Amino acid sequence: MTLSNATDRGPLFFRDRDWHPPAYTPGYKTSMTRAPHRALVALGSTLSEETGPAFGHDMIGVLDNNLVMNFTGQPAIGERIIMHGRVLDENGRGVPNVLVEIWQANAGGRYRHKKDGYLAPLDPNFGGCGRTLTGPDGSYEFLTIRPGAYPWPNHVNNWRPMHIHISVFGTGFGQRLITQMYFEGDPLIAKCPIVNTIGQDRAIQALVAPLDMNRAIPMDCLAYKFDIVLRGRRQSFFENRKEGM
C-alpha cells in the first residue's frame, strides 16, 4: 500500500486549515521578504511528479537510521536518544514503505553545513542526517543525538529550540512533506518566533514529542515518540503543504 492509495480509501477528514500560520508574520523576520504579495496560482502535477522514483529496501544501508555511528563508524558525542513513531493516515492506519529522512544540529547546536557559523564546535563523528523506511505497520525508528539549541539572527537573542527536521516521501519526489519535531519540556519552544507563527496550541503540541520511558534503554538512552499523521484533523503540522499528502 503506497502513501497515495492509503489516503484515498474512504471519506476524507479535512484538516482545520485555520491553524496554518499566515505567510506574512513580522515576528519571523525572513517571512517579510518571502511572503507572496499576489494571489497564489495552483499548478497541476505532471506524470513525472506523480510516478517514481520508488524507494526500495535495497537503497537503505544498515546504519542509515543510526546517526550516532553512520558518519564515520565512530560514536558521535552527546546524549543518545531513540526517536520513534508511526506514519499514519487519517484513520489511524499505519502506512508502510514510506521513506522518512531526518537532519539536525549536533549536540552543541551546530549543523554540518558550510554556512553555519555558530561558534559551537563540529563533532568529527556526527554527520547529522539519516533515513529509514517504515515497516508494515508504519513504524520507524532512529538512534541519534539530542540536538542542541542554537541562536539565529532573527531579532536580538532569538534561539531555536532543540529540534529535528523530518522529510516524508510518498511514491515520488512530487509527494514530499516536511516538518519538525520538538522535545517535551523545552522552555525555548514557547519563545521561538517560528513556532509562534502557528496560531493554535494544539497544532504546536502535535509537533512536540513526549518522553517515552517504555522505549528508553537503561544506562544507554532515552526515547521520544513522534507519530506523523498525513491527513485529517489530527494531521501533523507540515511546513510546505497544509493539506497533507
Question: Which residues are annotated as catalytic?
Answer: 111, 150, 160, 163, 165
Residue of 102, 130, 126 whose CA lies nearest to 226: 102
Q: Quote the CA–CA distance of 159 and 194 in Å, as a whole number.
A: 10
Q: Quote the CA–CA distance of 161 and 182 in Å, as a whole number.
A: 7
**Residue 219 half-sphere exposure, CB side, CA atoms within 13 Å?**
0
Q: Which amino acid is at 11?
A: P
Residue of 113, 88, 117 whose CA lies nearest to 103: 113
Q: In what order do the strands lie in the sheet with 129-133?
A: 129-133, 99-103, 163-169, 176-183, 208-209
Strands 222-225 and 80-88: parallel
The residues that bridge with 147 in the sheet, in sequence order, are: none
Q: What is the dihedral of CA 84, 90, 95, 99, to 10 degrees?
A: -70
Residue of 188, 185, 190, 186 whose CA lies nearest to 201: 190
- Cβ(222)–Cβ(84) under 8 Å? no
